[in-house]
Amino acid sequence: MKALGVWITMALIALASAAATGCGIGEAQTRLRTAVDAKQQELGQCYGEALARNPQAGGTIQAWINLDSDSGRIESVEYTGGDFRDEAMLSCMTSTLQTVQLMQAPKANLRVEYTFHLTPN
């Protein structure tokens, strides 16, 4: 199977409750990034399905990922921009991302902006 290009850029934007200031938010962002990176193969499969529908599919997807501090899980993904729109792919991505489970939950809810870059090879 041909390799699929899926790159994820985490923006330097992370929002957390004011009570969490100085409580390891940067560490939680790093753990979240590592957990999302671990889903590259599954996200690539989502993209592969989109390419089967449209072999020229590519572009960017901007999303806000919301991480729940109680469970350490991604509770929601909001797609807010970019030039790539394939509703089936977005649904697949959401299902994949919502399986992320951090071993150590953050001390506050996190809202992190990601940009997904999709390039057909």
- pLDDT averages per 10-residue partition of the chain, 121 residues: 46 36 67 89 92 92 92 95 93 96 88 88 73
- Match domain 5-119 to its CATH number in 1.10.760, 3.30.160, 3.30.450, 3.30.1150: 3.30.1150
- Which residues touch 84 (CB under 8 Å, ≥6 apart)? 57, 58, 59, 60, 61, 116, 118
Domain spans of the chain, in order of start: 5-119
**What is the reported pLDDT for 21?**
41
**What is the reported pLDDT for 24?**
61
User: How far is Cα 112 from Cα 33, in angstroms, rounded to an integer?
Assistant: 10
